[in-house]
Amino acid sequence: MLIKVLGAELTDDEAMSFSCPHFDPDQDYCRLLKNDCVPGRPGCVLGSKAVFAVPVEERLREREEEKCQQEFERVYGPRPRQN
């Protein structure tokens, strides 16, 4: 994920590396917000200082769609593939 901190002089390599102390990599989970880690979401430590290649609203929507799909498949099983 491309993250650039406004006002900082960063190379592209530096801008792409970010480590958050609240991130639980096993669950892809934010321990601070007790929710999925979606950098830049409301309450995230990155706040309004970061600019993302994909807007946070779009990533939040995609994450919710993924969760709906996972819940559907948990209840009803995988959808049949169409050839």
User: Cα(68)–Cα(46) distance, rounded to whole angstroms?
Assistant: 26
Binding residues for ligand SF4, total number by CB under 6 A: 13
| CB-CB neighbours of 40 under 10 Å | 21
- By CB under 6 A, tell whether 52 contacts ligand SF4: no
Minimum CB separation of residue 80 from ligand SF4 in Å reads 35
- By CB under 6 A, tell whether 50 contacts ligand SF4: no
Q: Of 16 and 72, which CB lies nearer to ligand SF4 in the complex structure?
A: 16
User: Cα(58)–Cα(61) distance, rounded to whole angstroms?
Assistant: 5
- By CB under 6 A, tell whether 49 contacts ligand SF4: no
- By CB under 6 A, tell whether 39 contacts ligand SF4: yes
The runs of H, that is alpha helices, within the chain are 12-16, 56-76
Q: Of 1 and 72, which CB lies nearer to ligand SF4 in the complex structure?
A: 1
DSSP state of 1: -
